[in-house]
C-alpha cells in the first residue's frame, strides 16, 4: 500500500482581531480569566465582506499551481458555518480558484470533526487514485453571541491542505479510535446564527470522548503513549488542549509534559476557535514553530466534534518537511491584522445579510483578493 497524507498546509484568518484583555474589561471580567483561565490572547473577527468561502479561497490560493490544478479531482469542504442548505460552499471556491471542471466537490458536516472525516475519506480515495491530489478545506466562523460565556472562545479561520500519495508533511498511519454518541453539548439549529452550548458539560464530554477514543486507538494499534513525540488536540481554547493532555498523561501514568503540546497552541492563542480548522491550524503551528526536528517522529491527534464524534489517529512526519511549510505566509497573515475596539467588533458581529434576497452591497473593509461583495436576488456575490 502506498503512503498517503498531507502534502501541504496553509491557513488564513481575516484581517481584524480583538485583544482578549480588552474584551474582558468591556465585560467586567478579570482579564486573567481569559488569558490564563482559557489561555487565549487574541481573537480573529469576521468582517462583513468575508465568510467561509472567502477564507477558504484565501487559504487555498497559495497551494494552487498549474500542476495541482491539473491533479485535484476531489475538493472536500468541511464546515459547520454553511452559507447554503443545498449548494456546497466548495463550489464557490472551485469557481474563484478556477479548479478543474471534472473535480468532485462536496461539503461535510459534523461540528468540529468533519475535516478529520474528510481526511480519512481522502486517505481511502488516494489509495485508489494515487496519481491524483485531494484539496481538503476546513473553514469556520465560531459564534456564541455577545455577552455570553462562550464569547471569549469565538474566532474564525480556514485551513487548506493538499493530500497526496507522496506526502511531504505527514504520512497517515493505519488504526484509529473512533467514538460516536448522541449528546447535546453544543449545536446550532438551522434558524440560528449562534451556537447553543452547555459549556461546562461540553468540556466534560470532550475529555471523556478523548479517553474512550484513546483506549480504542491503543487497542487497535498496539501503540503506547511513549510512542508519540507530540500530540495535537482539537483547540476550542488552548487551556482545553492542555487539560486534554493532562487527562491522557494521567491515564497513561506518564508525568504531564507541556513541551509535547506547547507549539501546537501558539497560533490558536492568537486566533481563537476556528471549529473544523482548529486541529489543523494546530498542526501547522507545531510543524512550523517546534525547534525539535520532527522527522520520522509520530504525532498523535485527537479530533473532537460536539454532538458528538471523536477520533484519535496518528501520523509520521517525513524527512525534509521543513522545506514545505508556510511560516512566512502565516506570519504575514497574523501580523497584518488590525486591532478593533470592542464597539467596532460588536458592529461587525451584528452586521447581517437581508433575508428577503434584495440587493445589498457589503462595506468594503477587507483587502482581498477575495471578498463577499454583496447579495442580489438571493445570490451571494464574490469578487
Ligand atoms: P465560564 O463558565 O465563564 O468560565 O466559561 P469558568 O468559570 O469555567 O472559567 C474558565 C476557567 O478560567 C476556569 O479554569 C477558571 O478557574 C478560570 P478551570 O477551572 O476550568 O481550569 N478562571 C481564572 N483563571 C485565572 N484568573 C482568574 C480566573 N477566573 C476564572 N481571575 C466555557 C468557560 C469554556 C464553559 C465557556 O467559554 C464556553 O461555553 N465556551 C464554548 C464551549 C467550548 O468551547 N467547549 C469546549 C469543549 S467542546 C468543543 O471543543 C467543541 C467545539 O469546538 C464545537 C464543535 O465541535 O463544533 C466547542
| Grid coordinates given for 94 | 472551485
On whether both 243 and 180 belong to a single domain, the answer is yes
Look at ligand 1, atom 29, and give the residue with the nearest C-alpha.
Answer: 33
236 lines ligand 1 (CB under 6 A): yes
Pocket probe for ligand 1: among 31, 32, 153, 274, the residue whose CB has the most ligand atoms within 8 Å is: 153
43 lines ligand 1 (CB under 6 A): no
The reply to whether ligand 1 has any atom less than 6 angstroms from the CB of 206 is yes
Same domain, 182 and 249: yes
The residue count of the chain comes to: 383
Instruction: Return the ligand 1 atom nearest residue 32 CA.
Output: 26
Cβ–ligand 1 contact at 302 (below 6 Å): no
For the beta carbon of residue 64, count every other beta carbon within 10 angstroms: 18
**Beta carbon of 202 within 6 Å of any ligand 1 atom:** yes
Q: How far is the CA of 110 from the centre of ligand 1 (A)?
A: 22
Domain end position, chosen among 270, 294, 320: 320
Average pLDDT score over residue span 129-133: 97
Q: Contact at 8 Å (CB) between 244 and 39?
A: no
Domain housing 154: 5-169+325-382
Q: Could you tell me the distance, in angstroms and rounded to a whole number, from the CA of residue 69 to the centre of ligand 1?
A: 42
Do residue 292 and residue 337 come from a single domain? no
Distance (angstroms) between ligand 1 centre and the Cα of 271 equals 16
Are residue 16 and residue 164 in the same domain, yes or no?
Answer: yes
Q: 3-class SS at 54?
A: helix
Tally of structural domains, the chain: 2
- Cβ-proximal residues to 67 (8 Å cutoff; 6+ apart), any chain: none
- Protein residue with least CA distance to atom 21, ligand 1: 37
355, three cell numbers: 433575508
Task: Quote the DSSP letter at residue 110.
Answer: B
Residue 1 has a pLDDT of: 46
Please name the residue whose Cα sits nearest to atom 34 of ligand 1: 199
Which whole-number Å values give the CA distances from 234 to 25, 58, 312, in the listed order? 28, 22, 11
Q: Write out the DSSP string of 124-167.
A: HHHHH-TT-EEEEEEEEEE---TTSTTGGG-EEEEEEEEEESS-
* Final residue of a structural domain among 301, 320, 339: 320
Same domain? For 190 and 153 the reply is: no
| pLDDT tens by residue, 152-184 | 999 999 999 999 999 999 999 999 999 999 999
Contacts of residue 207, Cβ cutoff 8 Å, sequence gap at least 6: 243, 244, 247
Among all residues, which ones are annotated catalytic? 80, 112, 234
Residues 257, 160, single domain; the answer is no
- pLDDT tens sequence across 216-225: 999 999 999 9
pLDDT band at 2 (very low <50, low <70, confident <90, very high): low
Is the domain of 12 the same as that of 39?
Answer: yes
Exposed / middle / buried, residue 177 (Cβ in 10 Å: 0-12, 13-18, 19+): buried
Peptide bond before residue 103 is cis, with ω within 30 degrees of 0:
no
Q: Answer whether 233's CB lies under 8 Å from 261's CB.
A: yes
Residues 132 and 242 in one domain: no
Q: What pLDDT sits at residue 368?
A: 84
The response to whether residue 200 sits with its C-beta less than 6 Å from ligand 1 reads yes
Nearest protein CA to atom 9 of ligand 1, as residue: 37
Question: Are residues 157 and 298 both part of a single domain?
Answer: no
Residues 247 and 335 in one domain: no
**Average pLDDT for residues 101-112, to the nearest whole number?**
98
Residue whose Cα lies nearest atom 39 of ligand 1: it is 199
What pLDDT digit, counting tens, does each position of 28-78 carry?
999 999 999 999 999 999 999 999 999 999 999 999 999 999 999 999 999
Among 275, 290, 320, the domain boundary falls at 320
Sequence-distant (6+) residues with CB within 8 A of 65 are none
Cell of 235: 483547540
List 106's β-bridge partners, or say none: 76
Closest CA to 114 of 329, 238, 241, 277: 277
On whether both 223 and 340 belong to a single domain, the answer is: no
pTM: 0.98
Ligand 1 geometric centre to CA of 145 (Å): 15
Could you tell me if the CB of 32 is within 6 A of ligand 1? yes
Same domain assignment for residues 184 and 159 = no
Contacts of 223 (CB under 8 A, 6+ apart): 175, 217, 298, 314
CATH assignment of the domain containing 227? 3.40.47.10
The percent of residues above 70 in pLDDT, for the chain, comes to 99
Q: What is the percent of the chain where pLDDT is above 90? A: 98
Amino acid at each position: 500500500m502506498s503512503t498517503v497524507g498531507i502534502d501541504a498546509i496553509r491557513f488564513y484568518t481575516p484581517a481584524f482581531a480583538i485583544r482578549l484583555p480588552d474584551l474582558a474589561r468591556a465585560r467586567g471580567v478579570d482579564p486573567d480569566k481569559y488569558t490564563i483561565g482559557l489561555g487565549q490572547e487574541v481573537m480573529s473577527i469576521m468582517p462583513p465582506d468575508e465568510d467561509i468561502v472567502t477564507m477558504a479561497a484565501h487559504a487555498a490560493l497559495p497551494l494552487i499551481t498549474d500542476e495541482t490544478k491539473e491533479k485535484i479531482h476531489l475538493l472536500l469542504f468541511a464546515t459547520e458555518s454553511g452559507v447554503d442548505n443545498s449548494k456546497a460552499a466548495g463550489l464557490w471556491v472551485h469557481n474563484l480558484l478556477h479548479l478543474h471542471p471534472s473535480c468532485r466537490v462536496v461539503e461535510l458536516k459534523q461540528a468540529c470533526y468533519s475535516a478529520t472525516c474528510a481526511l480519512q475519506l481522502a486517505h481511502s480515495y488516494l489509495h485508489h487514485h494515487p496519481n491524483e491530489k485531494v484539496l481538503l478545506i476546513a473553514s469556520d466562523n465560531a459564534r456564541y453571541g455577545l455577552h455570553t460565556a462562550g464569547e471569549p472562545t469565538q474566532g474564525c479561520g480556514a485551513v487548506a491542505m493538499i493530500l497526496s500519495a507522496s506526502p511531504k508533511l505527514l504520512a497517515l498511519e493505519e488504526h484509529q479510535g473512533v467514538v460516536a454518541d448522541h449528546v447535546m453539548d453544543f449545536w446550532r439549529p438551522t434558524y440560528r446564527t449562534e451556537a447553543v452550548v452547555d459549556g461546562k458539560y461540553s468540556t466534560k464530554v470532550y475529555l471523556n470522548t478523548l479517553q474512550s477514543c484513546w483506549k480504542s486507538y491503543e487497542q487497535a494499534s498496539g501503540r503506547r503513549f511513549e510512542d508519540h513525540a507530540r500530540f495535537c488536540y482539537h483547540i476550542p481554547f488552548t487551556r482545553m488542549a492542555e487539560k486534554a493532555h493532562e487527562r491522557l498523561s494521567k491515564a497513561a501514568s506518564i508525568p504531564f509534559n507541556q513541551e509535547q503540546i506547547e507549539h501546537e497552541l501558539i497560533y490558536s492563542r492568537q486566533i481563537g476557535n476556528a471549529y473544523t480548522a482548529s486541529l489543523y491550524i494546530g498542526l501547522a503551528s507545531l510543524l512550523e514553530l517546534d525547534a525539535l526536528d520532527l522527522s520520522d517522529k509520530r504525532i498523535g491527534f485527537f479530533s473532537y466534534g460536539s454532538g458528538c464524534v471523536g477520533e484519535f489517529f496518528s501520523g509520521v512526519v517525513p524527512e525534509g518537511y521543513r522545506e514545505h511549510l508556510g511560516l512566512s505566509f502565516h506570519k504575514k497573515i497574523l501580523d497584518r491584522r488590525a486591532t478593533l475596539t470592542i464597539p467596532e467588533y460588536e458592529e461587525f458581529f451584528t452586521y447581517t445579510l437581508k433575508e428577503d434576497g434584495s440587493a445589498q452591497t457589503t462595506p468594503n473593509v477587507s483587502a482581498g483578493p477575495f471578498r463577499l461583495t454583496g447579495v442580489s436576488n438571493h445570490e451571494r456575490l464574490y469578487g
